[in-house]
Amino acid sequence: MTRKPSTFFITTPIYYVNDRPHVGHAYTTIAADVIARFHRANGEHVRFLTGTDEHGAKIAESAEKAGKTPKKFVDEKAEEFKGIWKSLDISYDTFSRTTSPRHREAVSIFLQKLYDQGDIYRGEYVGLYCVGCEKFLTEKELVDGLCPDHKREPQVLKEQNYFFRFTKYLPKVAAAIESGDLVIEPQERRNEVLALIEQGLEDFSVSRESVKWGIPIPWDKKHVCYVWVEALQNYISDIGYGVDPEMFRTWWPADVHLMAKEILKFHALFWPALLIAAGERPPQKIFAHGFFTINNQKMSKTIGNVIRPEAMVKTFGADATRYLLLSQFPFGQDGNIDEKRMREKYHADLSNNIGNLVSRTSQMIEKFLNGSVRPLKHAWEKDVETVREKLQRMDLYGALAGVMKLATLGNQFIDTEKPWIQAKSGAGVDRTLGKLVTLMVDVGKLLTPFMPSIGERMIQQFQSSTIIKSDPLFPRL
């Protein structure tokens, strides 16, 4: 069954609710929002999924610490995430929660199917488990006996588990990657996944006996589903897997799963294998962007350098926050978020470049042409097209740099044409400003996915029949 070509299904990871949303979660979610908005503007039927991962030992532990029942705790946390996304103007179409009834149902159907066809078997697992990571670690991965990421001693887990015949399906996953049915980007990430397959992997466990807060294994209610295995299934439970075949066919396979590289193995290997085993296609693309540091240090509560999105929105506003996060380093690579540089970039790129261009152009149209100008073709159409191509390829950083270049070209054009002199001599001012007005509408359109309010404001201002000087788009901080 082929899908309607005009649909576009994009997802972020569903975030653990043991923590408050931080700028790392915001980074991926803003990126996905930009891509979703770009595809919507192209007339595609878009479904943008984000949500929260609410089961497992780690969440149960956090709920207990907070003195709340897990249910109450996750309900509050999910609202907190939604609130932050609202303040950042995130236009998700669906908020996927793993404690929802439709998710529980889909997970049960999916697991039962694999069990009935013999792809899940019972075995004993002995291993070191880190609750912080919600995954098993090997001795080799420990540093001084501790999990290197969470600095805590892993538990020795010995329990009866159900295992998925991962190794049986791994060759099919490899074939899907080789053939391009499953695209993994950027290239280094694809190589990393192929190297993991080369190294050899083992069947993995899909259940936990010691955990209570989770979705019961349908044929053995003493166990719950391993939190990662059910979390991945949110991408299909949300679109009606097992209960609404038509909806499922409309949206699956997803066009892109977006995430950072630390959870690539789950998405690029475990998840496609589970899907192929269940007779479904793998997602079309997995894009794993880089991990960033804050002022050159790992972001951590202990170091105390965690940036909260609400603090950024308070300083810069939603639109500029979105711009500043995505313009720090190329999308896909690792990078650093430098708080000082963000302020500098706010002034240099936003106030002085784009903001200044908007204000000069509108002021001159008001002053020299009584606010009325006939839009003319400008000479930068190729640059506009390049930005669009970059957006299409998810080169968000490159696209933003392209928009900045257009603004620079616009400002230079004003400097060389000198409309104030043209206005005196009576020659050419309407042509100069006519080209600029078209440029301003183009820039507004290119900016809209990144900065929804600013972009809209620019389009409205410069498409209006009377153009007047407006308040500064980016007031100085």
- In the complex, the residues that contact ligand MSP under the rule CB under 6 A are 13-16, 24-25, 27-28, 53, 231-232, 234, 259-260, 262-263, 291-292, 299
**Cis peptide, bond prior to residue 148, ω within 30 of zero:** no
Q: Which two tokens stand for residue 255?
A: 């066009």
Determine the Cα–Cα distance for residues 382 and 180; give it in Å rounded to an integer: 30
- Give me the least distance between CB of 98 and ligand MSP, in Å please: 9
Taking Cα atoms as reference points, which of 96, 97, 84, 155 lies closest to residue 126?
Answer: 155
Closer CB to ligand MSP, residue 220 or residue 395?
Answer: 395
SS3 16: strand
3-state SS, residue 50: strand
User: What amino acid occupies position 346?
Assistant: Y
Q: What would you report as the CA-atom Rg of the chain, rounded to the nearest whole angstrom?
A: 25
Q: Of 39, 130, 135, 261, which one is the catalytic site residue?
A: 130
Minimum Å distance from CB 184 to ligand MSP? 15
Which of the following is catalytic: 39, 55, 77, 133? 133
Q: What is the C-alpha separation between 236 and 253, in angstroms, rounded? A: 9
For residue 147, indicate whether it is catalytic.
yes
Residue 285 or residue 435: which is nearer to ligand MSP going by CB?
Answer: 285
Q: How far is the CB of 264 from ligand MSP (least distance, A)?
A: 9
| 367 is an active site residue | no
Cβ distance to ligand MSP smaller for residue 38 or 270: 270
> Percent helix, strand, coil in the chain (nearest 5)?
50, 15, 30
Amino acid at residue number 203 = D
Q: What backbone phi and psi angles, to 5 degrees, belong to 369? A: -125, 15
Which residue's CB is nearer to ligand MSP, number 276 or number 473?
276
Note if 55 is an active site residue: no
Q: Which is closer to ligand MSP, CB of 50 or CB of 207?
A: 50
List, in order, residues 6 or more apart from 158 with CB less than 8 Å away: 124, 125, 126
Catalytic-residue membership of 298: yes
- Give me the least distance between CB of 350 and ligand MSP, in Å please: 23
- Cβ 305 to ligand MSP shortest distance, Å: 11
User: Active site includes 267?
Assistant: no
150 catalytically annotated:
yes
The position carrying tokens 């892993």 is 154
Taking the complex as a whole, the smallest distance from the CB of residue 6 to ligand MSP amounts, in Å, to 26
Residue closer to ligand MSP by CB (options 129, 474) is 129
Phi first, then psi: give them for residue 244, nearest 5 degrees.
-135, 80
Alpha-carbon distance of 376 to 69, in angstroms, equals 63
Which residue's C-beta sits nearest to ligand MSP?
Answer: 24
For the purposes of burial, counting CB atoms within 10 Å of the CB of 385, is it exposed (0-12), middle (13-18) or buried (19 or more)? exposed
Q: Is 39 a catalytic residue?
A: no
From 22, 82, 172, 265, active-site residue: 22
Catalytic residue at 289?
no
**3-class SS at 49?**
strand
Residue of 212, 298, 314, 424 with catalytic role:
298
| Active-site amino acid positions | 22, 25, 130, 133, 147, 150, 298, 301
